[in-house]
Amino acid sequence: MQRRFLSIVLLELLAASVLVAGVTLVRAFHFELALVSAALVYLSAASNVLAGSKRPAAGTALFVLVPLVPALAEQYLRQPCDPGSGFLFYFLYTVPAAVCGAGAGLSAVRLLKGLWLRASLVLAVVLLPAAYTLWTLYHDAPVRFFHLVFGMWPGSLYDEQVAITPALWVARFEGLVLGLSLVLLASDRLRKAGLAFGGLLLVLIAAEPLTGVRQPLSLLRERMGPPVVAVGVRFYPDPDLPAEVRGEIAGIIGEAVTHVKTRLGEDHAGRIELFLFRDVERRYEVTGARYTTFTKPWQGTAFLEPESLRSARGKSLLRHELTHLVTAPWGPLLGLPWNISLLEGTAVAVAPGSAERLAALAKVVLEKKPDLGLETFLRSFGFWNESAAVAYPLGGAFVQFVLEAKGPDYLKALWRLGPFEEPPEGGWKALAAGFRGYLEKIEPSEGEKATGTILSKRKSIFEKRCPHDAVVETGTP
Ligand SMILES: [Zn+2]
């Protein structure tokens, strides 16, 4: 037993080092390390107990410390942005996860017989909260979501600001309570206390709409003012918005809905709800996205703020988000297509701005990036290979081409394709060739050439650098 335990510990150490070293190299956001560490300490703590360790607490402590060394080195050497919160983040994610792992392992060994039953309990402690997490993402307003054992996924792909909010503290406290209740349940003497902790956890979960861990739509509707209806769209203004702003916004929204429906030949009759926050900060508190506007087509909801809707850019944004909602009946996957280039391309193509400009930018980008595989880009997940600066206009120009050459019904058919299906008559290859032919007739202006060149140099999400590096390079803050 002793030898088996030692070899498991060695294997875990090896896996931890490889994973942690790998994650420090990726660094697209600023929390991956904490998240991976949380998963590792959970698994190692649970397996330490299952493997028969006499001192699961010591084994677990070791695994909190192993990822800590590269984590701190990374914080201080490569991320000068905010080492303090990096450190705090690390502990917020890992400590409750370690306690949950030790608790799951202990209660599995003490309460159940046989490895499979025990492993199932360890797995259930991860999977049940995951199911709850997915349900909140589906059902509530925010893009950020919490997992009882592992912590938080902080929001949309493009919002890199990851903060330690009061909601995160509460959510991690819930994780700690789960872990403690499992530890106590494993003890014959303290089982009642374990049940009491379990009860406390249920109370905390029930109170999540009050503590801000969850933001259900029903509560949000109550907190906003009474809805205003414009061309079948309900919008909920922030109570702080003056009446004249509401009237103006109703006009802007009505115009945008009519434009999108006409352009796509889709008379969407389902429910569309727009939530209008006073400002970006208020939106961030509720939805977890400060710099990105997002919609949930399966709910028919979008979350915006009126300041941004008045500018030309804001009107374009509104049409973009409304397109995601109006096309919901087309999408086979909760109102979304498998193909992200089509999803975002349709929204970009419908937003105002000259169609020729979109095509001109796409032409310049394709010239400047000869290695960009257009066929791959057009397939299901090719969108993520490129930076947002390239992917959005390129997808937009492609959908523009489809709408002009083949019409909305053909676009709708493309949306319904499965992840590995080909369009009829020559597949993606033929469509890519047709698209290149369409671009050939476009003559980009000098300004479009300059913009397209800048866009083509932007890096994809997995190649981003710390803003401080950019400051050093350009000399401007
Ligand atoms: Zn979009």
Report pLDDT digits (tens) over 284-343.
888 888 888 889 999 999 998 877 777 888 888 899 999 999 999 999 999 999 999 999
298: nearest Cα among 249, 337, 355? 337
How far is the centre of ligand 1, averaged over its atoms, from the C-alpha of 392 (Å)? 9
- Answer yes or no: are the C-beta atoms of 250 and 199 closer than 8 Å: no
Ligand 1 center from residue 466 Cα (angstroms): 25
What is the distance in A from the centroid of ligand 1 to the CA of 302? 11
How many whole angstroms separate alpha carbon 289 and alpha carbon 282? Answer: 10
Structure tokens given for 421: 């299906």
Q: Are 179 and 99 a contacting pair, CB within 8 Å? A: yes
Cα(288)–Cα(162) distance, rounded to whole angstroms?
9
Residue 38 pLDDT greater than 90, yes or no = no
Q: What is the pLDDT of residue 440?
A: 93
Percent of the chain with pLDDT over 90: 45
Identify the residue whose tokens are 């400009």.
357
118 — pLDDT class (breaks 50, 70, 90): very high
Ligand 1 centroid, distance to 115 Cα (angstroms):
46
Per-domain boundaries in the chain: 2-213, 216-334, 337-477
How close is the Cα of 293 to the center of ligand 1, in Å? 8
* Crossing angle (nearest 10°) for helices 166-185 and 83-111: 20
171, 132 Cβ separation under 8 angstroms: no
Specify the DSSP element, H or E, that contains 228: strand 228-230
Cα 148 to middle of ligand 1, angstroms: 29
Contact 30, 81 (CB under 8 A): yes
pLDDT tens, position by position, 51-100: 777 676 677 777 667 666 766 666 666 555 566 777 788 889 989 999 99
98: CA distance to ligand 1 center in Å? 37
- In the reported structure, the alpha carbon of residue 61 is separated from the centroid of ligand 1 by a whole-number distance in angstroms of 43
Which superfamily does 216-334 belong to? Collagenase ColT, N-terminal domain (3.40.30.160)
- Calculate how far, in angstroms, residue 292's C-alpha sits from the geometric centre of ligand 1: 9
Count of Cβ atoms closer than 10 Å to residue 453 Cβ: 14
475 CA to centre of ligand 1 in angstroms? 33
d(CA 315, CA 437): 31
Q: How far is the CA of 63 from the centre of ligand 1 (A)?
A: 40
Task: Give one DSSP letter per residue of 352-405, joined into a string.
Answer: SS-HHHHHHHHHHHHHH-TT--HHHHHSTTGGGGS-HHHHHHHHHHHHHHHHHH
Q: Sheet with 295-296: list strands edge to edge.
A: 228-230, 233-237, 272-276, 301-304, 295-296
- Residue 343 Cα to ligand 1 midpoint, Å, equals 7
**What's the CA-to-centroid distance between 77 and ligand 1, angstroms?**
36
Q: Two tokens at 260?
A: 């999108």
Note the residue count of the chain: 477
Quote the pLDDT of residue 120.
96
- Ligand 1 center to 159 CA (angstroms): 14
DSSP 8-state class, residue 266: -
Q: In this structure, what token pair is assigned to residue 443?
A: 């003559």
Burial class of residue 220 in the structure, from the number of CB atoms within 10 Å of its CB (0-12 exposed, 13-18 middle, 19+ buried): buried
Q: How far is the CA of 351 from the centre of ligand 1 (A)?
A: 11
pTM of the full structure = 0.82
CA proximity to 68, closest of 43, 93, 102, 48: 93
Structure-block tokens of residue 175: 């994780």
From the CA of 19, how far away is ligand 1's center (Å)?
32
Distance 186 CA to ligand 1 centre (A): 48
Once rounded to an integer, what is the mean pLDDT over residues 227-233? Answer: 85
Dist. CA 395 → ligand 1 center (Å): 11
Task: Give yes or no for residue 457 having a pLDDT over 70.
Answer: yes
Q: What is the mean pLDDT of the chain?
A: 85
What's the gap in Å between 71 CA and the centre of ligand 1? 34
* The two structure tokens encoding residue 165: 């909010």
pLDDT at 71: 64
Q: Are strands 272-276 and 151-153 parallel, antiparallel or unpaired?
A: unpaired
CA 204–ligand 1 middle distance (angstroms): 34
